[in-house]
């Protein structure tokens, strides 16, 4: 597609810079605006799964990512006293650990470094108004500056404010009946390179994962019927978290003792973004802004990477933006929906046993599925595994 003006990308997370990479490769001029004042390197462990790994390889970034791998060896389930119930090494069916394990901030930095020389990044900037004139997109920024762009690509994550200006009616949030908190605590000498997960009564699920040499990362999810904690009420969040941790065993006690020192803290509802349309006119969504599957799936990065690759490729080969956006949605939507449909409120309740009896049954299931015999039956052959990754998403060539 021949383009006269620049393309604007909103959001310098994962999807935005990945899309900027491909658009620059196809010869377009790209401006990326990010509302944070500086590059955001927050976040805990992200898994780069299936087709996402292929995009990383096509971008030539596999080595840079591997250099930052957290080296997680697999996942162990513990009981409340800290005794090991079941072990799922990396590669086992059902383990949390994928082939590429990296802290979100490290991953975002690899993408930023790969694009900052070729694309224009403007930090501390966001969109206040968009006007689709037919011939282009007139955009006003919060510093008062107005500028024309050929297209606007919105990769602002789950709570995107620019999406709300254009596709509010089309966007729906699906609450899965739980809240999530992520943060880091100081690493201890006994923290090795395993992820440790423990079920707590009342429907709490806690996982500790290797972070960097100084920090261990924490992921806590807990059942909550209603999505009723809005905004930035840090006292309410803290109280809820303390309640979810109280009396939940040794791992929970350690986290409670460290909670006051936590700086980089994410807390929010476990919700998916489901948009009935991903574009309107010259405006199009990518990544979590369009199809957040929730960080609980570990699939958000793969969806963002695949979406960025396809959107940029379709813009390059399409006759018009309308054709390109339609092809992007047609190709990526089934992949997104397959990933999002893996989670339901019912499945989340199943993973978060509430009673001691439920937890005992969960432990039995964890033991059963981790046993050598069951893993042998469940584990696809090497050939099928190769094929599985390849078929996760069938990549168009651009």
Look up residue 391 and give its two tokens. 């078929």
Assign 122 to helix, strand or coil: strand
Considering all CA atoms of the chain, what is the largest pairwise distance in Å, rounded to the nearest integer? 65
When asked if residue 126 is in the footprint of ligand FAD (CB under 6 A), the reply is: yes
The residue with its CB nearest to ligand FAD is 13
Binding mask 186-225 for ligand FAD (x = CB under 6 A): ----------------------------------------
Among 151, 295, 311, 335, binds ligand FAD (CB under 6 A): 295
Site for ligand FAD in 359-398 (CB under 6 A): none
| Per-residue binder mask for ligand FAD (CB under 6 A), 46-65, x = binder | x-------------------
Q: Is the separation of the CB atoms in 137 and 149 below 8 Å?
A: yes
Radius of gyration of the chain (CA): 21
Of residues 50, 155, 200, 210, which one binds ligand FAD by CB under 6 A?
Answer: 155
- Say whether residue 156 binds ligand FAD (CB under 6 A): yes
* 182 near ligand FAD, rule: CB under 6 A: yes
What residues contact 263, with CB distance under 8 A and at least 6 apart?
Answer: none
Residue 265 engages ligand FAD in binding (rule: CB under 6 A) = no
Which CB, 36 or 93, lies closer to ligand FAD? 36
The interface region with ligand FAD, picked from 131-139, 154-162, 167-175, 372-380 by CB under 6 A, is 154-162
Residue 64 contacts residue 183 (beta carbons within 8 Å)? no
Are the C-beta atoms of 343 and 175 separated by less than 8 Å? no
**Helices and strands: H and E segment counts in the chain:** 14, 18
| Pick 9 or 244: Cβ nearer ligand FAD | 9
Using CB under 6 A as the binding rule, whether residue 160 contacts ligand FAD is answered as: yes
CB-based contact 29:173 (threshold 8 Å): no
Sign (positive or negative) of CA dihedral 60, 62, 67, 68: positive
Closer residue to ligand FAD (CB): 46 or 59: 46
Sheet of strand 146-149: strand arrangement: 127-132, 137-141, 146-149
Binding mask 3-32 for ligand FAD (x = CB under 6 A): -------xxxxxxx----------------
Among 1, 36, 229, 236, interactor with ligand FAD by CB under 6 A: 36
Binding ligand FAD (rule: CB under 6 A), the pick from 6, 49, 76, 104 is 104
Task: Pick the binder of ligand FAD from 52, 200, 269, 300 (CB under 6 A).
Answer: 300
- Closer residue to ligand FAD (CB): 65 or 80: 65
Helices 15-25, 300-317: inter-axial angle, 10-degree rounding: 30
CB 46, CB 93: distance < 8 Å? no
| Residues in binding contact with ligand FAD, number by CB under 6 A | 34
- Strand locations in the chain, DSSP E? 7-10, 30-34, 45-48, 74-78, 84-89, 100-103, 120-123, 127-132, 137-141, 146-149, 151-154, 171-186, 195-200, 204-210, 215-223, 266-275, 279-280, 283-285
Residues that bind ligand FAD (CB under 6 A): 10-16, 33-36, 40, 42-44, 46, 104, 126, 155-157, 160-162, 182, 266, 287-289, 292, 295, 300-301, 304
């Amino acid at each position: 597609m021949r383009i006269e003006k620049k393309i604007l990308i909103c959001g310098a997370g994962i999807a935005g810079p990945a899309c900027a990479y491909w658009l620059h490769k196809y010869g377009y001029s790209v401006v990326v605006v990010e509302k944070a004042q500086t590059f955001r390197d927050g976040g805990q462990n992200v898994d780069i799964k299936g087709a996402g790994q292929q995009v990383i390889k096509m971008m030539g970034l596999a080595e840079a990512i591997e250099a930052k791998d957290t080296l997680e060896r697999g996942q162990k389930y513990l009981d409340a006293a800290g005794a090991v119930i079941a072990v799922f090494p990396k590669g086992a069916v059902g383990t949390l650990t994928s082939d590429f394990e990296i802290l979100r901030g490290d991953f975002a930095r690899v993408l930023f470094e790969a694009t900052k020389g070729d694309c224009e990044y403007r930090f501390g900037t966001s969109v206040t108004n968009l006007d689709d004139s037919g011939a282009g997109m007139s955009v006003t920024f919060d510093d008062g500056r107005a500028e024309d762009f050929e297209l606007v690509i919105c990769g602002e994550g789950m709570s995107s404010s620019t999406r709300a200006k254009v596709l509010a009616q089309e966007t729906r949030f699906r609450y899965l009946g739980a809240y999530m908190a992520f943060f880091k605590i100081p690493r201890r000498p006994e923290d090795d390179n395993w992820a440790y997960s423990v079920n707590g009564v009342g429907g709490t699920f806690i996982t500790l994962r290797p972070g960097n040499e100084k920090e261990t990362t924490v992921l806590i999810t807990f059942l909550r019927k209603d999505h009723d904690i809005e905004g930035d009420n840090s006292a309410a969040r803290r109280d809820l978290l303390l309640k979810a941790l109280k009396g939940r065993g040794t791992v929970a006690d350690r986290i409670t003792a460290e909670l006051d020192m936590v700086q980089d803290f994410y807390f929010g509802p476990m919700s998916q973004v489901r948009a009935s349309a991903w574009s309107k006119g010259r405006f199009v969504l990518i990544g979590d802004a369009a199809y957040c599957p929730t960080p609980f799936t570990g699939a958000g990065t793969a969806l963002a990477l695949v979406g960025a690759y396809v959107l940029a490729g379709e813009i390059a080969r399409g006759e018009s933006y309308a054709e390109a956006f339609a092809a992007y949605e047609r190709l990526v939507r089934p992949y997104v929906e397959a990933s999002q449909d893996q989670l339901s409120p019912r499945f989340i309740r199943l993973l978060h046993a509430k009673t001691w009896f439920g937890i005992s049954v969960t432990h039995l299931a964890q033991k059963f599925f981790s046993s050598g015999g069951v893993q042998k039956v469940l584990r696809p052959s090497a050939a099928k595994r190769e094929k599985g990754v390849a078929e996760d998403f069938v990549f168009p060539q651009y």
